[in-house]
Amino acid sequence: MGLRATLTFNALFASLDPGDEVVIPTPCWVSYPDMVALAGGKPVLVDCHEVDGFKLRPQALAAAITPRTKWLMLNSPCNPTGAVYSRDELRALAAVLRRNPQVYLRSDDIYEKLTYDTDFATMAAVAPDLSERTLLVNGVSKADAMTGWRVGYGAGPLSLIKAMNLIQGQTSSHTSSISQYAAIEALSGDRRHVKEFASAFRQRRDLVVAKLKQAAGLSCRVPEGAFYVFPSCAGVIGKRTPEGKVIETDTDFAMYLLEAFALAVVPGSGFMASPYIRISYASSAEDLTRACDRIIAACGPVLKGSPMSSPAKRLRVRMAETGLVHIMAAHSPLSAILAEEAGFDGLWASGFELSALYGLPDMSLISMTQHLDMMRAIAGRTTLPIVADIDTGYGNAINVIHAIRGIRAVRRQRGRYRRQVFFQGDEPRRRWPSGASSHRRVPGQNQSRRRSKTKSRFSRDCPHRGADRGPHGPVTRRLCRARIQSPAASFRKSARSRPRIAR
């Protein structure tokens, strides 16, 4: 865990006796309750409602404090809600703490530089008389974008800091000297980048909030700090996805976004608050726009219980507007997602790409079922329209050769087969054009028409023996013979696992 979390962990280990209570306003960072439990304490979770701005009220704090309460854990700006306590709100909480001298305050100020609508305030400045009971923790991972350096720092009563150092020395020892010098440079050097970061985050926050307001079933308050939004998804709870699955919790909704739209959000239940989801806007405006568009597209069919707007219609509109559309071939969900992120207007799902994915030499080795299953998987991961090329039968002689193997059992059972039927994938789809003669074969009948070894090999594998009179007979026959005499014959002989037509 990060050094800021380590400071909190060390403080709890240094101060808690078994059964001591720690008041934690929720929503809160996921690790807080477990840290308290590991240190032998008892986490006391106090709900902070959205109507109150996700902030702890003095009355709720007073009701949660008992003679066994040892700590109050406060985080402002807050992860995950972005709530920021004002000076007046901190003064009201400080009044409650003054009436309970056994309670220490741990103030997590890691997002102090990332406030937008409310000036940052900390308890140490608002209530200096409580400094002997206050532990401030901070770091350089957020405002200075130094997450990988793993540097945090704290300030508090000397006795508490000494106890924390004792525990630190027996666990991870210390932060590397390189990281410490880098943190000193960040904190004492030119700080102009902090204002630039805050300005960029404000713009991204406004973008995400405006987008989420367009998502049916979601409601989102404007956070005052940090770089998270915490929208409520109560409007989609109890609804069904297009696949018929009921969304019962915020975790179900998060999984729906992940599985159907390749979009990762964190369910609010992880922060002890439901039904919400946390979205970080520490990303580019382009990525955030694309992500929010997916959320909007996901919420529509959930509430309406109807399919999403036709991708084909969007493609036709695009064609009418520009006269040109850019379509990228896709053979897997990943390639479809990458094509969407690259800005293509549509996807072309072809059996050729699918056969290449499986390392096969010909698209006709892929069954119709495999092709359709892959296209369904692609459609579930992208909102782009898909141009499906699923013609794997007519005019492709090798596919006919494989298809005939799948009906040999049927042919033996019925004692005949009709040349007029051709196969697309695994099922007969249409008849040959009129003019192809009907040919019946009776088992055991003498096949005296076989004139050569080559022709015999052709006759054994091709269903079009004697089909020269049909309009497509000569062409199909020559293609079949070429396939039989090619190296692909050895591969075809091993392709025994192709789906069979049921008897």
According to DSSP, residue 365 is labeled G
The pair of three-digit structure tokens given for residue 20, joined into one six-digit string: 């001591």
> Percentage of the chain surpassing pLDDT 70?
67
Q: How high is the pLDDT of residue 366?
A: 56
Q: Return phi, psi of residue 43, to 5°.
A: -75, 130
The pair of three-digit structure tokens given for residue 467, joined into one six-digit string: 């089909």
Count the helix, strand and coil residues of the chain and give each as a percent rounded to the nearest 5. Answer: 45, 15, 40
- Strands (E) located in 317-371: 327-329, 346-350
Q: How high is the pLDDT of residue 382?
A: 75
Burial label for 99, CB within 10 Å (0-12, 13-18, 19+), is: exposed
CA distance 17 to 492: 73
Which domains are seen in the chain, by residue range? 3-188 (3.40.640.10), 194-304 (3.90.1150.10), 311-389 (no CATH), 397-494 (no CATH)
- Strands (E) located in 123-282: 134-139, 152-155, 228-229, 266-267, 277-280
Q: For the segment 449-459, what is each residue's pLDDT rounded down to a tens digit?
A: 444 444 444 44
At residue 6 the predicted structure's pLDDT band, cuts being 50, 70 and 90, is: confident
At residue 399 the predicted structure's pLDDT band, cuts being 50, 70 and 90, is: very low
Q: Which amino acid is at 444?
A: G
CA distance 383 to 293: 9
List residues bridging with 72 in a β-sheet.
Answer: 23, 105
Sequence-distant (≥ 6) Cβ neighbours of residue 181 within 8 angstroms: none
Report yes or no: 35 and 8 within 8 Å, Cβ to Cβ: yes
Greater model confidence, 50 or 463: 50
Average pLDDT over residues 113-125: 93
CA distance 306 to 395: 38
Burial label for 434, CB within 10 Å (0-12, 13-18, 19+), is: exposed
Report yes or no: 201 and 282 within 8 Å, Cβ to Cβ: yes
Q: For the segment 185-231, what is each residue's pLDDT rounded down to a tens digit?
A: 989 988 888 999 999 999 999 999 999 999 999 999 999 999 999 99
Average pLDDT over residues 367-393: 68
Q: How far is CA 267 from the centre of its chain?
A: 12
CA distance 23 to 97: 12
**pLDDT surpassing 60 at residue 124:** yes
Q: How high is the pLDDT of residue 282?
A: 94
CA distance 374 to 144: 44
User: How far apart, in Å, are the Cα atoms of 329 and each of 214, 334, 351, 386, 437?
Assistant: 31, 12, 10, 9, 40
Q: How high is the pLDDT of residue 312?
A: 61
